[in-house]
Structure 1
Amino acid sequence: MTKILETFSGRLLLVGCGNMAGAMLDRWRVAGLDAAQVAIVDPFAAPRDGIAHYGSLGDWQAAGGGADWIMLGMKPQQLGEVAAELGPHVAGAHLLSILAGVSLADLAARFPGAKAHVRILPNLAARIGAGVTAVASSGESDDRAVAALLQPLGDVVPLADDSSMDLVTAFTGSGPAFVFRLIEAYAAAGERLGLSADDALKLATATFGGATALLAGSGEKPGALVTQVASKGGTTQAGLDVLDVDGQLAALMTNVLRAARDRGRELADLARGEG
């Protein structure tokens, strides 16, 4: 891919580098981000070649500290502890957060010295540049620079504010896990009906992958493509008749998203010390 981050300027600090933050960092490196511009504070993250790695914020500060871009990627429940230690060192920096449930208002209250507060919601497909990232910001945000940083991760969807971010967290952030579970269930059904486990998973993965690629590239609505596969009285329609009974599939997915969204709100309360 084009090394679009070769011109990225400034120092980037990752506070927490778990699965999601790590996937973002790995993609940024592929996109040309210089390892010398990055530091990680995380006692549990695996070391990455050329990137300064510290076990604590104290160690980072003792080594000189300083960052123009700071991304929070630890557990939301750690926000208070991190803010107390990091807060004095964010002056003039863009503060990015991928923390579920932590609003822009929460960030502004915890880190008043930051130049800008930017809430971003990526998903795991960012690892291969096929993710989707929702973003909302406040303060003196350099939105073009933020967009350039997020572009290598996949599609970027700017939001006017972060009022819908708890739902977006459930919808796109948690979404890949729900899709993986659906594929797993689809493969398990094939296995129960006689396919080998390996064949069932390969066929399920290819079927879901091809269908989503066709949908993305066709410009058509899902329902229109359904009618191109199904014919009256045919095998596809027989299966659809089961899926469509009493709107149970839509109701199930609504309940799934509601549970994930509500958990995001609970995490927000915990981050504020209200839980």
Structure 2
Amino acid sequence: MTARLVLVGCGHMGRAMLSGWIDSGRIAANEIVVVEPNGDLRGKAAALGCKTAAGVEDLASDISPQIVVIAVKPQAIREVLAGYARFGNGATTFVSIAAGTSVATFESILGENTPVIRCMPNIPAAIGKGMMVVFANGHVGDKAQDFVSGLLAASGKVASVGDEKLMDAVTAVSGSGPGYVFHFIEALTSAARAAGLPDDTAAKLAVQTVYGAAVMAAESGEEPGVLRQQVTSYKGTTAAALDVLMGEERLTRLLTEAVEAARKRSVELGS
């Protein structure tokens, strides 16, 4: 069994990223081995053309991947990583997408000279619209970093931070952020229904309004605050609604509290 890349875990996020990598042509499916104990998930990886294994013990003794991507829950990181210690302190670069798990955790298990890239993706990576933020330790070479950045770019936008402590804030904003937006859509749908709109119309208006506004914010070149002002007529309907949302900075304060709660939880998961 040969492999350029080993993906450990093929749940929602792992499979989303895997599909993006293959669809982009940046890596061939037959260059990837997916290690996944769940038979159904392993079957989905095989259907994409990847080699699969139920566990690390099923990997060939002479396998030497360039990249090992760890896509398991933070609570399982230490147990899972121990099985991949033979790839540590060498040419293999480890990429982690586990929230709150520090580079130091990887180094303590795999060896202090192990190249490690910590990445926080989000679920829109499944449709190529994700936000991936990375932090790399000093052992990651330029070639490996460029290759990993290219893979991640297949799933959306890529940014980097120079201070690993900022990854907890990244997790709280873009990692968990889609959940906040989904709930906003739920709330806007509920408000539309309360205003008398039929259920299907309320749902369609809420989703398309959020989608259209997000695309406009991304592509117009204008700051969100400027766009808000452009759609807000003096003493008009939007102004009336924004008086509620922006009065005493209600929405800003609520989101700040939410992001801080998520950031603290990220810190806890890494401790």
TM-score by length of 2: 0.90
After the TM superposition, which residues 88-99 of structure 1 pair with which residues of structure 2 at under 5 Å, given as runs?
88-90=86-88, 91-99=90-98
Structure 1 residues 22-46: Cα deviation after superposition (integer angstroms, max 9, x where no partner): 1100111111131111111111224
Q: Residue 11 of structure 1 contacts residue 38 of structure 1 at CA under 8 Å; is this kept in 2?
A: yes
> RMSD over aligned Cα, in angstroms?
1.8
User: Does residue 161 of structure 2 align to residue 163 of structure 1?
Assistant: no
Instruction: Say whether residues 1:125 and 2:127 are aligned partners.
Output: no
Aligned residue-pair number: 260
Contact 1:92 1:113 in 2 (8 A): no
1:25 correspondence with 2:24:
no
What is the deviation of 1:114? 6.2
Residue 140 of structure 1: aligned partner? 140
Partner secondary structure for residue 244 of structure 1: helix
Residue 8 (structure 2) pairs with residue 15 (structure 1): yes
After the TM superposition, which residues 65-80 of structure 1 pair with which residues of structure 2 at under 5 Å, given as runs?
65-80=63-78
What amino acid is the match of 1:140?
Answer: V
Q: Structure 1 length as normaliser, TM-score? A: 0.89
8 Å CA contact 2:81–2:106 kept in 1: the answer is no
Structure 1: distance between partners of 2:204 and 2:120: 30
CA–CA distance in 2 between the matches of 1:234 and 1:46? 55
**Where does 1:204-223 land on structure 2 (aligned, <5 Å)?**
204-223=206-225
Alignment correspondent of 2:175: 173
Identity among equivalent positions (%) equals 37
Supply the distance in 2 between the matched residues of 1:80 and 1:23 (Cα, whole angstroms): 23
8 Å CA contact retained: 1:12, 1:39: yes
In structure 1, runs of 5+ residues without a counterpart are 1-9, 270-275
Q: Which residue of 1 aligns with 2:261?
A: 259
Structure-2 separation of matches of 1:16 and 1:24:
11
Q: Is the 8 A contact 1:95 1:118 kept in 2?
A: yes
Which secondary structure state, in structure 1, belongs to the residue aligned with residue 164 of structure 2? coil
CA contact (8 A) 1:40 1:54 kept: yes
* Counterparts of 2:223 and 2:214, CA distance in 1: 11
Asked if 1:60 is matched to 2:53, the reply is: no
| Matched residue SS, 1:96 | strand
- For 1:223 and 1:69, the matched residues in 2 are separated by 41
Q: For the residues of structure 2 that align with 1:249 and 1:113, how far apart are their CA atoms?
A: 44
Q: What residue is the counterpart of 1:43 in the other structure?
A: 37
Farther-moved stretch of structure 1 (106-115 vs 232-241): 106-115
Kindly indicate whether residue 234 of structure 2 is the aligned counterpart of residue 236 of structure 1. no
How much has 1:108 moved relative to structure 2? 1.6
The structural deviation recorded for 1:89 is: 2.9
Determine the C-alpha separation between the residues in 2 that align with 1:84 and 1:233: 62
